[in-house]
Amino acid sequence: MSKVKYRYNPETLSYDKIETGFRYYLSRVFTFSFFGALMGLVYFFAYVYLIDSPREIRLERENSRMLAQYEIMRDKLSQVQVVLDDIQQRDENVYRVIFQADSIPNSVRRAGFGGVNRYRYLEDLDNASLVVNTAQKLDVIMKQLYVQSKSFDEIIDLTERKEEMLRCIPAIQPVSNRDLRRTASGFGWRIDPIYKTRRFHEGIDFSAPTGTEIYATGDGVITMVRNSAIGYGKHIEIDHGFGYSTLYAHLDEFNVRVGQRVNRGDVIGFVGNTGKSTAPHLHYEVRIKGRAVDPTHYFFQDLTPEQYEEMIRIASNSNRTFD
């Protein structure tokens, strides 16, 4: 037998009997069900959004370790960049200078990557800036290492050919000039003997009698044997390789032909007074990659340090040329 329930009525100061029919029990079931479902939702969302699952805790730990590793890798890449910069400086200012190789500009060494965004697929990640920055550093270093590797390949090739290079580089005077008395006019600005104007003299003049022997100053191949009534007159050009070439002008006679290979010290012609010349002499030029340089820097097998200083003095004192 179910219990009878009463409710106190303050107006009548008496207890009224509570009707407990089907609707009462239905409302009670609905109320308890609603609040039970509501509490279940509250616990569910609290569990999902406020309390991490074991799997989420494990993933967060892995993510933290990965971020730490990325930061360590970024720092190590910065250290690698410092070391690579030092290697590039030595390559540019020591090795390539010693072997007189062309400089590699920074625009090539540090060129970026054009075109589409290579890191778009990383931009949606958490901590995207760290990941993208690390990936960019790695790509830049890899490209610089590739350029540096190619540079070292070139230096190694030049090193293996160093003996040949030493034979080919101009290293002696083109005429016999032990006492330096034949040194007439040097490299630089001079007064033109014909036009009487100040002009740049791209070689050095050696005064000598007509018929004096002229020597190849380094091993090479004859690329030009030309007879002209003006300018250089009869002149010869030798390609020594490695970017070097030499010119011998105002000759009286030739002793070589185009395509002939010559060695240092071979007689290639004879001093004359042809072309734009005011007296028998040899006009001699040294060029590196087509640019005229001071020939006095290329007599190191012929002169002692004292003789070299004396030649510089004699050549710089003369304000006139023979051509």
Query: How is domain 180-317 classified at the CATH fold level?
Result: Glucose Permease (Domain IIA) (2.70.70)
96: nearest Cα among 109, 80, 82: 109
69-98 pLDDT per residue, tens: 878 888 888 888 888 888 888 888 888 877
Contacts of 65 (CB under 8 A, 6+ apart): none
pTM, full prediction: 0.62
**CA count, 13 A, side-chain hemisphere, 319:** 4
Domain boundaries, the chain: 6-50, 61-161, 180-317
Helix (H) or strand (E) holding 86: helix 54-90
Residue 185, Cβ neighbours under 10 Å: how many?
26
* Virtual torsion, Cα 291, 296, 298, 301, nearest 10 deg: 170
**What does the block give as tokens for 236?**
């010869």
Q: Quick one: which of 178, 163, 136 has its CA closest to 299?
A: 178
Q: In sequence order, what DSSP letters do the residues of 124-187 get, joined into one string? A: TSTTHHHHHHHHHHHHHHHHHHHHHHHHHHHHHHHHHTHHHHHHHS--S-SS--TTSTTEEE-S
User: pLDDT truncated to tens, each residue of the chain (323 aa)?
Assistant: 456 677 777 777 777 777 666 776 777 788 888 888 888 888 777 777 776 677 777 777 777 787 788 788 888 888 888 888 888 888 888 888 777 777 888 878 877 666 567 777 777 777 777 777 888 888 888 888 888 888 888 888 888 888 888 899 999 999 998 888 888 888 888 877 777 778 888 999 999 999 999 999 999 999 999 998 889 999 999 999 989 999 999 999 999 999 999 999 999 999 999 998 888 999 999 999 899 999 988 988 888 888 888 887 877 766 666 66
Residues for the chain: how many in total?
323
